[in-house]
């Protein structure tokens, strides 16, 4: 694995295209995106206003949903959920209150090592977007996972 470039969040037309799935969720078409794409609603760390981002679900189990911050710790959504971790996610047709919890680098490494064989084309593409060139080995993906921040979104009790 080698770092080919530090990724910058998209701007201009690329940003608009990147955010297009948000519009699908707003139109009630989120279920068309399946279980691997989620809509995150969080508070801006400076403005305190609601913000939305669409991110890929890397893993889902009884503990919650896990996503990687592909643009690293500088990503707005990542910084926002680190400041105010109580957020809402929508996956398919379900909307859930969750708490965002950063994962240790070692756990991120193991997550990426499990993800890559299940979704080889997506893992290679995701690694490239994040600025890494990989040879396709589990070791390379493990190293990528060690360098990328992962967040687990843990369901909260709704108080009912």
| Sign of the dihedral through C-alpha 134, 104, 73, 70 | positive
At residue 7 the predicted structure's pLDDT band, cuts being 50, 70 and 90, is low
Find the mean pLDDT for residues 141-154. Answer: 96
Residue 127 lies in a domain: yes
Residue 85 lies in a domain: yes
Count of structural domains within the chain: 1
Q: What is the CATH number of the domain that holds 84?
A: 2.30.110.10
Task: Answer with the residue of higher pLDDT: 98 or 71.
Answer: 98
Residue range 21-75, pLDDT digits in tens: 999 998 998 888 889 899 999 999 999 999 999 999 999 999 999 999 988 898 9
The range of the structural domain enclosing residue 140 comes to 2-155
At residue 159 the predicted structure's pLDDT band, cuts being 50, 70 and 90, is low
Residue 63 lies in a domain: yes
**Nearest alpha-carbon partner for 105 in 144, 67, 57:** 144
SS3 51: strand
Residue 20 lies in a domain: yes
The span from the CA of 110 to the CA of 28, in Å, is 34
The reported pLDDT for the residue numbered 70 is: 85
The span from the CA of 128 to the CA of 5, in Å, is 9
Residue 68 lies in a domain: yes
**Nearest alpha-carbon partner for 68 in 94, 36, 30:** 36
Here the contacts of 113-117 (C-beta below 8 Å, separation 24 or greater) are: 113/138, 113/141, 113/142, 113/145, 114/59, 115/58, 115/59, 115/141, 116/141
The span from the CA of 135 to the CA of 65, in Å, is 27
DSSP-assigned letter for residue 41: E
Residue 160 lies in a domain: no
């Amino acid at each position: 694995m080698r770092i080919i470039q530090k990724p910058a969040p998209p701007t201009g037309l690329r940003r608009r295209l990147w955010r297009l799935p948000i519009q699908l969720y707003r139109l009630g078409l989120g279920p068309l995106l399946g279980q691997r794409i989620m809509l995150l609603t969080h508070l801006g760390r400076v403005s305190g206003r609601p913000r939305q981002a669409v991110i890929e679900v890397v893993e889902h189990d009884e503990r919650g949903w896990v996503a990687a911050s592909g643009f690293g710790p500088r990503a707005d959504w990542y910084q926002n959920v680190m400041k105010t971790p109580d957020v809402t996610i929508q996956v398919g047709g379900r909307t859930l209150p969750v708490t965002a919890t950063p994962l240790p680098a070692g756990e991120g490494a193991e997550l990426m090592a499990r993800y890559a064989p299940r979704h080889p084309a997506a893992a290679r593409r995701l690694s490239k977007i994040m600025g890494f060139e990989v040879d396709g080995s589990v070791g390379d993906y493990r190293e990528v996972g060690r360098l990328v921040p992962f967040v687990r979104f843990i369901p909260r009790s709704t108080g009912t």
